[in-house]
A = this chain, B = another copy of it.
Amino acid sequence: MTIRLDHDRLTDTMQEQAEFGKTPEGGLHRVALSNADMEVRDWFVDQLQDLDLHIRIDKMGNIFGRRPGTNTSAPPILAGSHLDSQPNGGIFDGALGVVAVLELLRTLDEENIRTAHPIEIVNWTNEEGTRFQPGLQGSGVWTGEFDLEQQYACEDGSGTQFEEELDRIGYKGEEPVEPAEDYESYYELHIEQGPYLEQTQNDVGIVTGVVARSWGEVTFYGQANHAGSTPMHLRADASVSAAEFLLYVRKIVNTINEKTVGTVGSISLSPNSINIIPSTGTVTWDVRDPDDNSIQAAVSDLRAEVRAISRREGTEYDIEETTRTNSVKFTNGCTEKIQQSAADLGYDFLHMLSGGNHDASHLAEVCDTGMVFAVSKDGKSHSPEEHTSWDDCYRAANTLANAIVATATE
């Protein structure tokens, strides 16, 4: 059985959700637990009620809506993503994954299709992690990776507590934040946020896993001095060490693995004045690779190079790896279902790894998990320029829908 979603209604529903937190540039500013997040949640709950789903809201504000199965002993299939956005972000990131499941449930009702397994839609709280850190917060607590009380206590930049804000918007639910039973599998559709699908002219991506990641920070300490009267050979310039580190990050990724990527997103110098030799320079790193061992090798190389850089310039340093996330492998069963679905629908597909983390990374710890990627125009994301054509939204949503139905009717 191959089902087809309603192309126009999928588009309409995507546009409908994009009204909550809409920006003048056509993007979305719907940061977790903001008023816009509250409004889109209210809208989402209305949609679930219209479908007569069994709605549960847990203590982290994760919202679940279950469509019962015909076999009372068959474990449920969970599917969804997140409705929060980056500050001044785009309308597809997260939302497409929630809307696609909503459309699947509507289509199943319209076509009177019953499934053996229950199908449950989910909107995870605070995937983005820009206002409250860390990201993937709702799914992190639900899967037991994060501690509820710790997340409740975290504060945004103005000192407002997560728990307080969750309560304020009316989404501090009653349900415990954990799977109350075994789940058959978890499916998530997300935009790629990278350029591979577009460049290889594929319709959908079948995500086989998530790459490993290391985040860290180095601070070099030099000697602040007058830019005019300090001879070059007597300098210990923290900015020079910082720049050498930055360019080394750029280079090592080419020596570790063809899939390794490395970024220095942030630098800060002090005193940061045009005519004073900088006394401190702080540089971050973000290195990712499909293989955990490659990340280990990259971090070792970075540490060795920081020693060499500081010796050359006469600076001192502190280095700290702040986060290490191991790679995730999605389950073959789910991946195969998604591939079969794409093939049945006649779509061109690409097996690929995700360079970014998603709620599915947490879910893979508790049940079989699979992910579908939709094409991202020019690979752009986290900005109003983020774009996925309605046809590409439709193809990815159909692929997801048929993989879920195949699993649910087994």
Contact = CB atoms under 8 A, between A and B. Distances in A.
A230 B265 contact: no
A269 B268 CA distance: 8
A223 to B, nearest CB: 8
B194 A261 contact: no
Interface in A225-258: 225-232, 234, 237, 239-240, 242-244, 246-247, 250, 253-254
A156 to B, nearest CB: 16
A246 B253 contact: no
Contact of A383 (B193, B224, B288, B357): B224
Interface string A350-388: 000011110000000000000000000001111100000
A227 B278 contact: no
A355 B228 contact: yes
Interface string A270-289: 01111111100000101010
B193 A226 contact: yes
B246 A228 contact: no
Nearest to A215: B274
Contacts of A272: 265-268
Contact of A265 (B193, B267, B268, B276): B276
A240 B232 contact: no
A229 B213 CA distance: 12
Protomer copies: 2
Given A244-B247, A247-B243, A253-B232, A227 B269 contact: no
A356 B229 contact: yes
Given A243-B246, A247-B243, A231 B196 contact: yes
8 interchain residue pairs of minimum CB distance: A194-B229, A228-B355, A229-B355, A227-B263, A243-B243, A243-B246, A228-B356, A274-B284
Nearest to A383: B224
Contacts of A192: 229
A195 B381 contact: no
Contacts of A380: 225
Given A224-B383, A247-B247, A261 B230 contact: yes
Contact of A261 (B211, B231, B354): B231
Nearest to A284: B274
B213 A228 contact: yes
A264 interface: yes
Contact of A239 (B226, B240, B267): B267
Nearest to A210: B228
A382 B226 contact: yes
A71 to B, nearest CB: 38
B266 A237 contact: no
A13 to B, nearest CB: 25
Interface string A117-154: 00000000000000000000000000000000000000
A247 B281 CA distance: 14
Nearest to A262: B232
B254 A278 contact: no
Contacts of A265: 227, 239, 269, 271-278
Given A243-B243, A243-B246, A275-B263, A226 B269 contact: no
